[in-house]
Chain A
């Protein structure tokens, strides 16, 4: 079946450095790619999303890039801060109501 691979499963970076999380999807019909952040003990929240007609989207320190040919998309966080510590989930959705989730990446920001 369709799947989304997310790497790495754990990422540890020094505060102030950049973090990159990558996802690869298999369904060529996917056209919606959201990223959710889940802090410890809290509910997941959307932080950024991108649709297939766009190659890159930025929101302050967060950016997402999409390569439809290679079927992968990435989350970039610059100037990481302690509050960026969380689990990040990527997902790929299509117009047939399918949304496949990645397994999650635990991001640790070291002081």
Chain B
């Protein structure tokens, strides 16, 4: 079974721009979660999607948004980029819920904001 994939793997943007990241979950998994990881900051939860609906949201500004498609693939968007948005963005898929099932993480998208 293919693992979780994320595209692109690396991105360089400038302040004020917007960016869209993509995540393809493991086949059959319906839950997709997104995390931001910066050095020494652990895993900061952004949001979780299930059946095209946002089920949970972390403590991030409205510039961070996401969506999920009918095939469970998910995208996240960050608008009006700030220097502090530079981070590794990880997505993870699970069968039904991140809070009761194993999460399988993708390799991440490393975003650099200049």
Chain A residues with CB under 8 A of B48: 97
Interface 1/0 per residue, B63-102 and A, CB below 8 Å:
0000000000000000000000000001010000111101
Query: Given known contacts A89-B43, A104-B42, is B106 in contact with A43 (CB within 8 Å)?
Result: yes
Which of B45, B55, B98, B108 interacts with A43 by CB under 8 Å?
B108
Docked CA distance A44–B106 (Å) = 9
Docked CA distance A96–B55 (Å) = 10
Query: Given known contacts A43-B107, A101-B45, A103-B42, is B99 in contact with A95 (CB within 8 Å)?
Result: yes
Interface 1/0 per residue, A30-60 and B, CB below 8 Å:
0110101000000111100100000000000
Chain B residues with CB under 8 A of A89: 42-43
Chain A residues with CB under 8 A of B56: 97-98
Interface 1/0 per residue, A64-99 and B, CB below 8 Å:
000000000000000000000000010001111111
Docked CA distance A104–B41 (Å) = 9
> What residue in chain A is nearest B102 (Cβ atoms)?
A46
> What residue in chain A is nearest B97 (Cβ atoms)?
A97
Chain A residues with CB under 8 A of B108: 43
Which of B99, B103, B106 interacts with A96 by CB under 8 Å?
B99
Chain A residues with CB under 8 A of B106: 43
Docked CA distance A95–B90 (Å) = 23
Which of B43, B55, B97, B100 interacts with A44 by CB under 8 Å?
B43
The chain A residues found within 8 Å of chain B, CB to CB, are 31-32, 34, 36, 43-46, 49, 89, 93-99, 101-104
Pick 6 A–B contacts, CB within 8 A, sort by A: A36-B103, A43-B106, A46-B103, A93-B98, A97-B55, A102-B42
